[in-house]
Amino acid sequence: MITTTTEPLALAPATPSGRAWRRFRANRIGVAALVLVILLALVALVFFVLDRLGIPFPMDPDMTNLERKLLPPNSINWLGTDNLGRDVLSRLLNGAYISLTVGFIAVFVSLSIGVTVGAIAGYFGKWVDNLIMRVVDAIMCFPTFFLILTAVALLGPSIINIIVVIGLVSWTGTARLVRAEFLTLREAPYVQAARALGQRGPKIIFRHLLPNAAAPILVTAVLGVPEAILAEAGLSFLGFGVQPPQATWGNIIADGKTYILDAWWLILFPGLAILVAALSFYLTGDALRQAVETRSERQ
Amino acid sequence: MAVFLIRRLLVSCVLLFFISVISFFIITLTPGSPYPWGELNPKISEEVKRVFREKFHLDRPLPEQYALIMRDLFTGRLRSIKDERPVLEKIAERLPATLALNLGALALSLSFGLMLGIYGARHAGRPPDMITSVLAFVFIALPGFWVSYLVAIGLVQAAVPILGTHTIGVTFSNGAEVFLDRWWHVMMPASILAIGGIAVQSRFIRASMIETLREDYIRTARAKGLDENTVFYHHALRNSIRPLITGIGMLLPALIGGAVIIENIFAYPGMGRLGYEAVLERDYPTLVALNFVTAALVLLGNLLADLLYAVVDPRVRLE
Distance between CA atoms of B233 and B227, rounded to whole angstroms? Answer: 10
- Chain CA centroid to CA B260, Å: 10
Residue A9: inside a domain: no
> Which among A145, A153, A278 has the least Cβ separation from residue B258?
A145
The Cα of B46 is separated from the nearest Cα of chain A by a number of Å equal to 22
**Residue A243 Ramachandran class (φ > 0 left, ψ -120 to 50 alpha, else beta):** beta
Taking residues B250-279, report their average pLDDT: 88
Contact assessment for residue A245 and residue A62, using Cβ atoms and an 8 Å cutoff: yes
The Cα of B221 is separated from the nearest Cα of chain A by a number of Å equal to 24
Residue A223: inside a domain: yes
What pLDDT was estimated at residue A299?
A: 31
Q: Binning pLDDT at 50, 70 and 90, where does residue A10 land?
A: low
> Which among A138, A150, A257 has the least Cβ separation from residue B19?
A138
Q: What is the residue-averaged pLDDT of chain B?
A: 84
> ipTM, 2 decimals?
0.86
Is A271 in CB contact (< 8 Å) with chain B?
yes
Is A177 in CB contact (< 8 Å) with chain B?
no
Q: Which pLDDT tens digit goes with each residue over B153-169? A: 888 888 888 787 777 77
**Residue B76: CB atoms within 10 Å:** 13
Residue A125: inside a domain: yes
Range of the domain at A138: 18-57+77-292
A151 chain-B contacts, CB cut-off 8 A: 26, 30
What does pTM read for this prediction?
A: 0.88
Residue A62: inside a domain: no
The Cα of A87 is separated from the nearest Cα of chain B by a number of Å equal to 21
B260 chain-A contacts, CB cut-off 8 A: 143, 145-146, 149, 238
The Cα of B83 is separated from the nearest Cα of chain A by a number of Å equal to 19
The amino acid that residue B152 corresponds to is A
The phi and psi torsions of A87 (rounded to 5 degrees) equal -75, 120
Residue B263 burial (CB < 10 Å; 0-12/13-18/19+)? buried
Q: How far is CA A12 from CA A5, A17, A287, in A?
A: 19, 11, 20
Taking residues B230-257, report their average pLDDT: 83
Is A279 in CB contact (< 8 Å) with chain B?
yes
The CATH number of residue A120's host domain is: 1.10.3720.10
Name which residue leads in pLDDT, B126 or A108: A108
Q: Binning pLDDT at 50, 70 and 90, where does residue A296 land?
A: very low
Q: Say whether pLDDT at A37 is over 90.
A: yes
Nearest 5 degrees, angle CA A241-CA A78-CA A102? Answer: 25
Distance between CA atoms of A232 and A221, rounded to whole angstroms? Answer: 17
Contact assessment for residue B143 and residue A227, using Cβ atoms and an 8 Å cutoff: no
Is A144 in CB contact (< 8 Å) with chain B?
yes
Distance between CA atoms of A213 and A81, rounded to whole angstroms? Answer: 48
Q: Say whether pLDDT at A34 is over 90.
A: yes
A219 chain-B contacts, CB cut-off 8 A: none
**Are B149 and A140 in contact (CB < 8 Å)?**
no
User: How many domains does chain A fold into?
Assistant: 1
Residue A165: inside a domain: yes
Give me the helices (H) in B266-283, please.
271-281
What pLDDT was estimated at residue B37?
A: 67
Q: Which of A187-201, B21-35, B254-268 has the lowest mean pLDDT?
A: B21-35
What pLDDT was estimated at residue B77?
A: 82
The Cα of B177 is separated from the nearest Cα of chain A by a number of Å equal to 32
Taking residues B124-131, report their average pLDDT: 86
> Which among A137, A146, A154 has the least Cβ separation from residue B275?
A146
Handedness of CA A254, A260, A262, A265 (dihedral sign): positive
Distance between CA atoms of B151 and A109, rounded to whole angstroms? Answer: 35
Interface test with A, best of B20, B39, B146 (most A CBs within 10 A): B146
Distance between CA atoms of B205 and B129, rounded to whole angstroms? Answer: 13
Residue A70: inside a domain: no
Contact assessment for residue A276 and residue A294, using Cβ atoms and an 8 Å cutoff: no
Distance between CA atoms of A261 and A60, rounded to whole angstroms? Answer: 26
Interface test with A, best of B22, B27, B145 (most A CBs within 10 A): B145
Q: Say whether pLDDT at A294 is over 70.
A: no
Closest CA to B304 of B51, B72, B9, B83: B9
Interface test with A, best of B137, B206, B274 (most A CBs within 10 A): B137
Contact assessment for residue B283 and residue B82, using Cβ atoms and an 8 Å cutoff: yes
What pLDDT was estimated at residue A4?
A: 53
Is A49 in CB contact (< 8 Å) with chain B?
no
**Are B137 and A286 in contact (CB < 8 Å)?**
yes
Q: Say whether pLDDT at B121 is over 80.
A: yes
Residue A176: inside a domain: yes
Contact assessment for residue A295 and residue A216, using Cβ atoms and an 8 Å cutoff: no
A282 chain-B contacts, CB cut-off 8 A: 137, 140-141
What pLDDT was estimated at residue A298?
A: 37
Taking residues B165-194, report their average pLDDT: 84
**Are A141 and B150 in contact (CB < 8 Å)?**
no
The phi and psi torsions of B86 (rounded to 5 degrees) equal -60, 135
Partners of A288 in the β-ladder: none
Angle between helices A159-169 and A144-155 (to 10 degrees): 150
Taking residues A270-274, report their average pLDDT: 93
Q: Say whether pLDDT at B35 is over 60.
A: yes
Residue A201: inside a domain: yes
Q: Which of A152-161, B24-33, B47-56, B131-140 has the lowest mean pLDDT?
A: B24-33
Q: How far is CA B273 from CA A147, A207, B126, B257, in A?
A: 14, 49, 43, 11
Name which residue leads in pLDDT, A26 or B41: A26
Q: Say whether pLDDT at A282 is over 50.
A: yes
**Are A141 and B291 in contact (CB < 8 Å)?**
no
B135 chain-A contacts, CB cut-off 8 A: none
